[in-house]
Amino acid sequence: MNTHSSTPHQRRARALIGAAAAGLLAVATTLAGAPEPVSAANTLTVRGADVSSLQRSLDLGARYYDAGGVARDPLDILKSVGVNYVRLRVWNNPISGYNNKSAVLGQARAARAKGLKVLIDFHYSDTWADPGKQYKPAVWTGHSLSQLRTDVYAFTYDVCSSLRGQGTPPDSVQIGNEINVGMLWNEGKVVNNDFAPLAGLLKQGYNATKACGSSIPVMIHTANADSNANARWFYDGIRAQGVQWDITAQSYYCMWHGSLANLYNNIVDLRGRYGKPVVIVETAYPFTRNNADSEPNAIGDATCDGISATWAGQAQEFDWVQNTARNAGAIGVFYWEPTWYAVRGNGWDPADINGTGNQWDNMAVFDWSGRVNPGVRWAP
């Protein structure tokens, strides 16, 4: 599919696996409004922000302002409203020169200097990896499945050990990004329910991470929050092949993944079925339906739960997502790219980063002048 006519997030919605709906668990969220009050026993210990595009924005002169209009370091602003974790994607050799190993090393240093923990998100690609596409990096083109297993181990260990070597070992690692039907296609794609090829790759990523640091938690991430049947199919499949992981990671965008009740049910089932903590590593909501540049927004008119696309609406939906995750027993929620506001030259396509616009400018928590949404909070 033409990458300039469809965003990574739009492709995600089109590529989800068809499966029969699983029987719903008892619903503990209110369908017509906010989730029920959280008990004191449930807390979100991981309160995260994916800030992978931030360094490019800063390099282009972006300024960030707190709710009072004071210019501050964006990481300080995020920390002041509850963020304690950042997520950084790593691509193998992107043409843009951003989100590669050297860039991630710098971003990790900046985050740790602010007292923030770091989740490293391995895409194993030179560009976006999501349910609709999982392109191998150019240097791995033509490699056999056996070679790819070696590649995954070597790349994972190299990035992790480089982070460790500069005094910023990752606090957690994600092996693959939204790998609903596998990664490193076609060799690592799940075809005819055969999980063995993918399992071999995931095991290498897990082993490399543990060789780098035995206590580093490993996440395996799918965008299956829309369907418990799909989630069970995937995680049952890798578990049957002996894949190990420490945290189950999900994406949840309400316009693609359904109701808050659906999110709640899926978290509860995944926790119980696999006996592992659950983290929502991606979510977001629009603060406007308008568009800041010539690039169509990934999310245009879609809204959820009767909540408007306003600053107040964005804050409310994010609060409800956190409440739902907390009530269901998840340990964390990450907002995806809250700092990626409309900065000219910080496009979405790493192969044409200057010439492509920002498809997320209405989903960031900073407006088009760089001022933070005063209502957004990451809450324990």
Catalytic residues: 178, 282
What b/e string do you get for 88-109 counting C-beta neighbours within 10 Å, with b at 16 or more? bbbbbebebebbbeebbbebbe
Q: Which helix (H) or strand (E) is 101 found in, with range?
A: helix 101-113
Mapping DSSP to helix (H, G, I), strand (E, B) and coil, where does residue 175 land? Answer: strand
Number of alpha helices (DSSP H) and beta strands (DSSP E) in the chain: 10, 8
The residues, ordered by sequence, that sit 6+ positions from 304 with a Cβ below 8 Å of its Cβ are 254, 255, 259, 285, 317
Q: How many C-beta atoms surround the C-beta of residue 191 within 10 A?
A: 12
> CB–CB of 230/292 below 8 Å?
no
Q: Is the dihedral of CA 41, 261, 296, 137 positive or negative?
A: positive
Backbone phi, then psi, for 35, in 5-degree steps?
Answer: -55, 155
Q: Which of 362, 253, 358, 349 is nearest to 300 (CA)?
A: 362
d(CA 265, CA 93): 38
d(CA 340, CA 352): 17
CA count, 13 A, side-chain hemisphere, 167: 6
